[in-house]
Amino acid sequence: MRFIRAIVVVLVLLAACGDDDASTTTTTAAGTSTTAGDDATTTTDGATSTTAGNVAPASIDLDDLTLYLEPADLSYRMTLQFHFVAEAISGTQQVDGGKILDPLHFELTGRAEGDATGPQCFAFHDLPGFIDPYATFLNEGGMLMGEASLLAEGIESNGRDVDRYGVTMANIDPTDDAGSEVDELTEAYIDIDQEGRFVVRLVLIGRGRSDLLTGQPSLVGDIDYSLDFSEFGTITELQAPEGC
């Protein structure tokens, strides 16, 4: 989830230029699912949930790279909103895009503006090495690490049934570029799809810094970050952020 690093790289580039007894086992990137009769059990890197009863794991490992894989065979929309405010200084980052299956098409367009960064629009999908929004913003978990505990089970988020896990400062990697700018979290969580075990939403609210948007690496302000994946299997149009 290297959202700051990804945008910094872009701005630098811009500046420079049937049977009851039968059992079926299915293995996917998210884990292995075994169905026997009416019961189903899903195992992902040691965490087990019984999908028939929607029993969620009590915790998840945010270092488990399978959490950050793009869901297979699903179109989706992705939006990102990041807002930084400190006294009279403010800045915003906004990204819109997603994936359409038929014909297969990825798009991801961003806009950044702030006291240090004037209004700029850029296309992530035109960059060398761009694969998909999950790979860009959830790359190897980015600044997330460690165990996250279950907050709520089987709730609705972005049109999906998810399990919500709390994110604390213990889950923020201080050695990561983005993580090093987070000083305090007042509300933070990650929503994991119950069926596919992929990320549906990530929210971080608290205090921190944004050198990119303010040009002042030590200036502390309020941060409000939300990364959303939605419209799974239904999206037919991708659009750039307003003003791009």
Calculate the dihedral angle through the C-alpha atoms of 203, 199, 93, 89, rounding to the nearest 10 degrees: 20
Averaged over 187-214, what is the pLDDT?
96
Indicate the range of 34-43, 66-75, 158-167, 186-195 predicted with least confidence. Answer: 34-43
Tell how far CA 148 is from the center of its chain. Answer: 15
**pTM for the structure as a whole:** 0.79
Write b or e for each residue in 28-39: b if 16 or more Cβ atoms lie within 10 A of its Cβ, otherwise e: eebbebebeeee
pLDDT digits (tens, 9 = 90+) for 84-113: 999 889 999 999 999 999 899 999 999 999
Please tell me the distance from the alpha carbon of residue 44 to that of residue 121, in angstroms, as a whole number: 38
pLDDT digits (tens, 9 = 90+) for 104-157: 999 999 999 999 888 899 999 998 888 899 988 998 778 999 999 999 999 999
pLDDT (0 to 100) of residue 232: 97
Please tell me the distance from the alpha carbon of residue 123 to that of residue 107, in angstroms, as a whole number: 8
Domain assignments of the chain as residue spans, ordered by start = 3-16+59-230
* Positive or negative: CA dihedral 215, 219, 224, 226: positive
Alpha carbon separation from 223 to 84, 194, 219 (Å, rounded): 5, 28, 12
